[in-house]
Amino acid sequence: MTETLLPIEAFDGSKPLAATDFDGVLNLFPEPPGQMVRNPEPPAGAVRRRVRTAHGQKYLIDFYQDIVDEFDDLVRTFQVELGWNTTWGPNIRAVIEQAFDGKLAGGFVLKKQPPKYRGHRPADWKLKGLRDRIAVTGQPWIWSDDEVILAEMVTNPAFDESHVGDAPGLFFTPDQEFGLTESDLARMRAFLVEHA
Protein backbone atom coordinates (compact mmCIF):
# COMPACT_ATOMS: atom_id res chain seq x y z
CA MET A 1 0.00 0.00 0.00
CA THR A 2 1.33 3.45 -0.94
CA GLU A 3 1.87 5.99 1.81
CA THR A 4 -0.42 8.99 1.41
CA LEU A 5 2.40 11.54 1.67
CA LEU A 6 6.14 10.98 1.75
CA PRO A 7 8.98 13.31 2.73
CA ILE A 8 10.41 15.32 -0.17
CA GLU A 9 13.78 13.60 0.45
CA ALA A 10 12.23 10.31 -0.73
CA PHE A 11 12.26 11.68 -4.30
CA ASP A 12 15.54 12.06 -6.17
CA GLY A 13 14.27 14.20 -9.05
CA SER A 14 15.03 11.60 -11.71
CA LYS A 15 11.40 11.55 -12.94
CA PRO A 16 9.22 14.42 -14.16
CA LEU A 17 7.59 16.57 -11.49
CA ALA A 18 3.91 17.53 -11.38
CA ALA A 19 3.64 20.51 -9.04
CA THR A 20 -0.02 21.09 -8.37
CA ASP A 21 -2.20 23.44 -6.43
CA PHE A 22 -5.46 22.00 -5.10
CA ASP A 23 -8.14 24.69 -4.82
CA GLY A 24 -9.30 25.78 -8.27
CA VAL A 25 -7.27 23.00 -9.91
CA LEU A 26 -8.84 19.80 -8.58
CA ASN A 27 -11.23 21.34 -6.01
CA LEU A 28 -13.79 23.36 -7.98
CA PHE A 29 -14.94 26.86 -7.06
CA PRO A 30 -18.07 27.40 -9.17
CA GLU A 31 -19.40 30.41 -7.25
CA PRO A 32 -19.29 33.78 -8.99
CA PRO A 33 -16.15 35.87 -8.32
CA GLY A 34 -16.37 37.83 -5.09
CA GLN A 35 -18.90 35.49 -3.47
CA MET A 36 -17.73 33.20 -0.73
CA VAL A 37 -20.95 31.19 -0.41
CA ARG A 38 -20.59 27.59 -1.52
CA ASN A 39 -23.26 26.44 -3.95
CA PRO A 40 -25.80 24.14 -2.27
CA GLU A 41 -25.09 21.45 -4.87
CA PRO A 42 -21.86 20.47 -6.60
CA PRO A 43 -21.51 21.38 -10.28
CA ALA A 44 -23.16 18.97 -12.72
CA GLY A 45 -21.17 15.74 -12.91
CA ALA A 46 -18.98 16.61 -9.91
CA VAL A 47 -18.67 14.68 -6.66
CA ARG A 48 -18.94 16.43 -3.30
CA ARG A 49 -17.17 15.04 -0.24
CA ARG A 50 -16.61 16.38 3.25
CA VAL A 51 -13.09 16.18 4.64
CA ARG A 52 -11.71 16.94 8.08
CA THR A 53 -8.12 18.14 8.35
CA ALA A 54 -5.62 17.21 11.05
CA HIS A 55 -6.60 20.48 12.77
CA GLY A 56 -10.26 19.39 12.91
CA GLN A 57 -11.49 21.85 10.28
CA LYS A 58 -14.21 20.56 7.95
CA TYR A 59 -14.38 21.40 4.25
CA LEU A 60 -16.63 20.46 1.36
CA ILE A 61 -14.62 19.36 -1.66
CA ASP A 62 -16.13 19.36 -5.18
CA PHE A 63 -14.24 17.52 -7.90
CA TYR A 64 -14.66 15.54 -11.09
CA GLN A 65 -13.87 11.90 -10.36
CA ASP A 66 -12.81 11.20 -13.96
CA ILE A 67 -10.23 14.04 -13.81
CA VAL A 68 -8.80 12.75 -10.51
CA ASP A 69 -8.70 9.20 -11.96
CA GLU A 70 -6.95 10.34 -15.16
CA PHE A 71 -4.46 12.51 -13.26
CA ASP A 72 -3.73 9.58 -10.95
CA ASP A 73 -3.21 7.37 -14.01
CA LEU A 74 -0.70 9.86 -15.47
CA VAL A 75 1.22 9.96 -12.19
CA ARG A 76 1.35 6.14 -12.02
CA THR A 77 1.99 5.45 -15.72
CA PHE A 78 4.85 7.92 -16.06
CA GLN A 79 6.14 7.51 -12.47
CA VAL A 80 5.69 11.25 -11.98
CA GLU A 81 6.88 12.83 -8.75
CA LEU A 82 3.73 14.52 -7.44
CA GLY A 83 4.56 17.67 -5.46
CA TRP A 84 1.61 19.37 -3.79
CA ASN A 85 2.19 23.12 -4.11
CA THR A 86 -0.81 24.35 -2.14
CA THR A 87 -1.87 26.25 0.94
CA TRP A 88 -3.26 22.93 2.17
CA GLY A 89 0.31 21.73 2.81
CA PRO A 90 0.32 18.44 4.76
CA ASN A 91 -3.47 18.69 5.19
CA ILE A 92 -3.73 17.50 1.58
CA ARG A 93 -3.49 14.06 3.23
CA ALA A 94 -7.13 14.44 4.35
CA VAL A 95 -8.24 15.09 0.76
CA ILE A 96 -6.34 12.11 -0.64
CA GLU A 97 -7.59 9.73 2.04
CA GLN A 98 -11.13 11.00 2.61
CA ALA A 99 -12.24 12.52 -0.71
CA PHE A 100 -10.09 10.79 -3.32
CA ASP A 101 -10.18 7.32 -1.71
CA GLY A 102 -6.39 7.06 -1.92
CA LYS A 103 -6.04 8.33 -5.51
CA LEU A 104 -2.99 10.61 -5.96
CA ALA A 105 -1.28 9.09 -2.92
CA GLY A 106 2.48 8.77 -2.74
CA GLY A 107 3.44 12.38 -3.42
CA PHE A 108 5.01 15.02 -1.21
CA VAL A 109 4.50 18.61 -0.13
CA LEU A 110 6.71 20.65 -2.45
CA LYS A 111 6.78 23.69 -0.19
CA LYS A 112 4.88 24.59 2.95
CA GLN A 113 3.15 27.94 3.03
CA PRO A 114 5.46 30.30 4.92
CA PRO A 115 4.19 32.13 8.00
CA LYS A 116 3.13 35.73 7.73
CA TYR A 117 5.76 38.32 8.53
CA ARG A 118 4.36 41.65 9.71
CA GLY A 119 0.96 40.61 8.43
CA HIS A 120 2.12 39.60 4.96
CA ARG A 121 3.10 36.36 3.26
CA PRO A 122 5.38 36.36 0.19
CA ALA A 123 3.11 36.08 -2.86
CA ASP A 124 5.72 34.12 -4.81
CA TRP A 125 6.31 31.32 -2.29
CA LYS A 126 4.89 28.63 -4.61
CA LEU A 127 7.00 29.81 -7.54
CA LYS A 128 10.07 29.91 -5.28
CA GLY A 129 9.37 26.35 -4.11
CA LEU A 130 9.21 25.10 -7.69
CA ARG A 131 12.30 27.07 -8.77
CA ASP A 132 14.31 25.78 -5.81
CA ARG A 133 13.38 22.18 -6.63
CA ILE A 134 14.15 22.50 -10.35
CA ALA A 135 17.47 24.24 -9.61
CA VAL A 136 18.57 21.15 -7.66
CA THR A 137 17.05 18.35 -9.75
CA GLY A 138 16.85 19.74 -13.31
CA GLN A 139 13.82 17.49 -13.84
CA PRO A 140 11.10 18.22 -16.42
CA TRP A 141 8.06 19.71 -14.71
CA ILE A 142 4.37 20.50 -15.04
CA TRP A 143 2.86 23.22 -12.85
CA SER A 144 -0.91 23.60 -12.36
CA ASP A 145 -2.16 26.63 -10.46
CA ASP A 146 -5.29 28.72 -10.96
CA GLU A 147 -3.90 31.98 -9.53
CA VAL A 148 -0.15 32.27 -9.04
CA ILE A 149 0.94 31.72 -12.65
CA LEU A 150 -1.62 34.26 -13.89
CA ALA A 151 -0.52 36.76 -11.23
CA GLU A 152 3.09 36.38 -12.37
CA MET A 153 2.00 36.96 -15.98
CA VAL A 154 0.15 40.14 -14.98
CA THR A 155 3.16 41.55 -13.15
CA ASN A 156 5.56 40.40 -15.86
CA PRO A 157 3.86 39.91 -19.26
CA ALA A 158 6.96 38.09 -20.54
CA PHE A 159 6.70 35.48 -17.77
CA ASP A 160 6.79 31.99 -19.23
CA GLU A 161 8.12 28.51 -18.45
CA SER A 162 11.72 29.65 -18.96
CA HIS A 163 11.40 31.85 -15.86
CA VAL A 164 11.15 28.76 -13.66
CA GLY A 165 14.44 27.21 -14.73
CA ASP A 166 16.36 25.55 -17.55
CA ALA A 167 14.47 22.24 -17.45
CA PRO A 168 11.56 21.70 -19.86
CA GLY A 169 8.28 22.72 -18.28
CA LEU A 170 4.62 23.33 -18.92
CA PHE A 171 2.12 25.66 -17.19
CA PHE A 172 -1.57 25.02 -16.60
CA THR A 173 -3.82 27.84 -15.37
CA PRO A 174 -7.26 26.26 -15.00
CA ASP A 175 -10.43 28.27 -14.61
CA GLN A 176 -11.28 27.61 -10.96
CA GLU A 177 -14.90 26.91 -11.86
CA PHE A 178 -13.89 23.85 -13.91
CA GLY A 179 -10.38 22.95 -12.71
CA LEU A 180 -8.17 20.77 -14.88
CA THR A 181 -9.86 19.51 -18.04
CA GLU A 182 -9.54 16.47 -20.29
CA SER A 183 -7.71 18.72 -22.77
CA ASP A 184 -5.20 19.74 -20.06
CA LEU A 185 -4.59 16.10 -19.18
CA ALA A 186 -4.06 15.22 -22.86
CA ARG A 187 -1.42 17.99 -23.10
CA MET A 188 0.21 16.68 -19.91
CA ARG A 189 0.30 13.18 -21.35
CA ALA A 190 1.94 14.41 -24.56
CA PHE A 191 4.53 16.35 -22.53
CA LEU A 192 5.27 13.29 -20.41
CA VAL A 193 5.60 11.03 -23.48
CA GLU A 194 8.25 13.44 -24.75
CA HIS A 195 10.09 14.04 -21.46
CA ALA A 196 9.59 10.99 -19.22
Ordered DSSP codes for 101-157: TTTT-SBEES-PPPPPBTTB--TTHHHHHHHHHHHHH---EEEE-SSHHHHHHHH-T
For 146-162, what is the HEC assignment? Answer: CCHHHHHHHHCCCCCHH
Compute the average pLDDT of residues 31-47.
Answer: 71
CB distance 121 to 114 below 8 Å: yes
CB distance 138 to 167 below 8 Å: yes
Domains of the chain as residue ranges with CATH: 8-195 (3.40.50.1000)
Q: In whole angstroms, what separates CA 166 from the centre of its chain?
A: 21
pLDDT of the residue at 3 = 93
> CB 77: neighbour CB atoms within 10 A?
12
pLDDT of the residue at 123 = 82
Is pLDDT above 90 for 99? Answer: yes
Is pLDDT above 60 for 164? Answer: yes
Residues in the chain: 196
> For residue range 100-158, what is the model confidence (pLDDT) as tens digits?
999 999 999 999 988 888 888 888 899 999 999 999 999 999 999 999 999 999 998 99
Is pLDDT above 60 for 33? Answer: no
The pairing of beta strand 81-84 with beta strand 58-63? unpaired
* pTM greater than 0.95: no
Q: Can you tell me the distance from the alpha carbon of 14 to that of 2, in angstroms, rounded to the nearest whole number? A: 19
